[in-house]
Amino acid sequence: MENLRPMRHLRFLAVTSVVLGGLAMSLSSTAAFFDEWKSGVDWSEPPIVTPGDRGAGDRGASPSDAIVLFDGGDLSAWNGVENWTFEEDYAIVGSTVATKRGFGDCQLHLEFATPAEVSGEGQGRGNSGVYLMSRYELQILDSYENTTYYDGQCGSIYKQRPPLVNACRPPGEWQIYDIIFTAPRFEAAGELKSPGFVTVLQNGVLVQNHYELQGGTFYETPPAYEAHSLREPLMLQFHHNPTRFRNIWIRDLLPPESDRNAASPAAQAGETS
């Protein structure tokens, strides 16, 4: 009986080989009877973008097609920076600032740190904000063991949607926002044609998943849309807390065919593609 085991093994391998070989021939024959489906779209070749190298800790360089808004050197891409303080490779907010250039659809990366020394509570701890198109706020706040209203904590779309999770690091530690934004579009008469959408990762954790904006974000009134151009400045809010910023870059995702006469809000209100 012992001598039969090698023979059985060989027979098993032979049968397996025949079966697999037959399956391969069957799949090949089947493919020959069907035409390949093609979309028919004449796609352009995707451009090559070189990702930024990761640096020390969480910090990394911007990708090759990014527009650098602040790399620790100066804030020349912004208006209203006179009251900001520069320290090493970061800056401390001292006034609300806006980019000199307007942006619509974009990928935005920024790093921020709330004060290491905890002072105040609720909305009084490390409060700032990222205003997409100067009107849609992603909240910045020290929400590490700090209770406040949920749609006003860090990672929230202010007064519209709390974050999916609280992904905050302790006070004083650098944190990262990676934001994917699709701007709203308006008809020529000013009516909303398509809403804005925003996806946010905080420290690598998804906190907003393709959220549909309900309109501008306000403290005293409900959200509402008002027609605006395809490009508007990005703003960083000063809320009387010494929040720090560094390594801010943006990738312009607005389709080239949409980017016409961006300086004219009246003309832009009718642009939709």
Where along the chain do its domains lie? 1-32, 67-268
The whole-angstrom separation of Cα 267 and Cα 264 is 5
Number of Cβ within a 10 Å radius of residue 60: 16
Q: Where is pLDDT greater, at 8 or 104? A: 104
> Is 67-268 CATH 3.40.50.150?
no
Tokens 């100066």, residue located? 74
- Once rounded to an integer, what is the mean pLDDT over residues 17-25? 52
Chain segment 151-192, per-residue pLDDT in tens: 999 999 999 999 999 999 999 999 999 999 999 999 999 999
pLDDT: which is higher, 206 or 33? 206
Is 131 in contact with 122 (CB distance < 8 Å)? no
Overall average pLDDT of the 235-261 stretch:
86
Each residue of 54-72: pLDDT tens digit? 554 556 689 999 999 999 8
Q: Are 116 and 172 in contact (CB under 8 A)?
A: yes
Who contacts 12 (Cβ-Cβ below 8 Å, separation ≥6)? Answer: none
Backbone angles phi, psi at 19, to 5 degrees: -60, -50
Query: Residue 9: enclosing H or E segment and its boundaries?
Result: helix 4-32
Q: What is the pLDDT averaged over residues 6-14?
A: 53
pLDDT digits (tens, 9 = 90+) for 181-232: 999 999 999 999 999 999 999 999 999 999 999 999 999 999 999 999 999 9
Least confident of 40-49, 137-146, 234-243: 40-49
- Whole-prediction pTM value? 0.79
Task: List, for residues 85-103, the tens digit of each pLDDT value.
Answer: 999 889 999 999 999 999 9
